[in-house]
Amino acid sequence: MMLLCMMMIIMSILAVLVVSSDSMDTIITCGSVVKLESLSTKDAVVHEHYYLRSSGISWGSGAGQQIVTVRKDDNQGAGDARSTNDAYWLVEGPSSSSCVSGDNIKCGSIIRLKHVSTNKYLHSHRDTSNLSGQQEVTGYDGGDDGDDWIIDCITNTGVVDDDYWLYNTAISLRHRTTGKYLTSSSKYQYHEGNCPGCPIIGDREVACGSSSKDNEWKVAGGMIITQQTPDEGDDNDEGKSMKEEEL
């Protein structure tokens, strides 16, 4: 509900047009709201999809910051209604500067991801994660460079930095200050044995680690903000307008 309200406010302010898109060449832009799917935890056999998510729940130990996990999509029948509502992230510029809404994001760019429903940034630091013993990932509102991530675009020939971040295309998120990669694996799942009574039973840990196939993610949904240049010869157009694509 909160996400829907936010989208309505944005649409009313910017007079954006909502259109549907399944295009593989849709470019992710500043100001867009994205849903990130973990490619390493996707089970192709049973068609399970796990998405990066968070909520207002914080750890009682360690840094005590907001919990970030991946959770199975609620449309698969085994998840719950929180999966979709908690899985949206607003794309912003790095902590040291801002970006212009609608500007295309190139591979190699530094971004931040703000969790839509809690306003916490995807964050990492050198504290140890609970299950894998890697680098902890949390939601945090401190506004420092621990919120900064580098977009590494992945192709069959390796990582490229001369292209744009595309919808439904593999990327890695490299933590700017530590060089570690956002990662999730089916090996590290919360259950009653390792997290008794936890509200995240069934979720899988998100951490930062060394480069591997567990680092791969893609944008699998959201709202993409794009700029529209006025048609030539239209005397009524004074500048660029905004358009919103629903993925």
Residue-by-residue DSSP string for 73-101 = -GGGSSS-THHHHT--EEEE--TTS---T
Number of Cβ within 10 Å of residue 92's Cβ equals: 18
Per-residue pLDDT of the chain (247 residues; tens, 9 = 90+): 454 455 544 443 332 333 344 566 899 999 999 999 999 866 655 678 999 999 989 977 666 799 999 998 865 444 444 456 799 999 999 999 999 999 999 999 999 999 999 999 999 999 999 999 999 999 999 789 999 999 999 987 777 767 999 999 999 999 999 999 999 999 999 999 999 999 999 999 999 999 888 999 999 999 999 876 555 445 554 555 566 777 7
Rg (CA), the chain: 18
Q: Is-contact 176 186, C-beta < 8 A? A: no
pLDDT score, position 227: 77
Cα–Cα distance, 98 to 173 (Å, whole number):
19
75's tokens: 């449309």
Number of Cβ within 10 Å of residue 113's Cβ equals: 23
Residue-by-residue DSSP string for 182-229 = EEEEEEEE--TTTSTT-TTTT-EEEEEESSSGGG-EEEEEEEEEEEEP
CATH level 2 (architecture), domain 2-6+21-230+240-246: Trefoil (2.80)
* 3-state secondary structure (DSSP) of residue 237: coil
Instruction: Give me the count of residues in the chain.
Output: 247
* 3-state secondary structure (DSSP) of residue 11: helix
pLDDT score, position 138: 96
Q: Is-contact 110 152, C-beta < 8 A? A: no
What are the C-alpha distances in Å from 100 to residues 92, 104, 243? 9, 9, 14
| Domain map (residue ranges) of the chain | 2-6+21-230+240-246
pLDDT score, position 15: 29
* 3-state secondary structure (DSSP) of residue 52: strand
Q: Is-contact 126 183, C-beta < 8 A? A: no
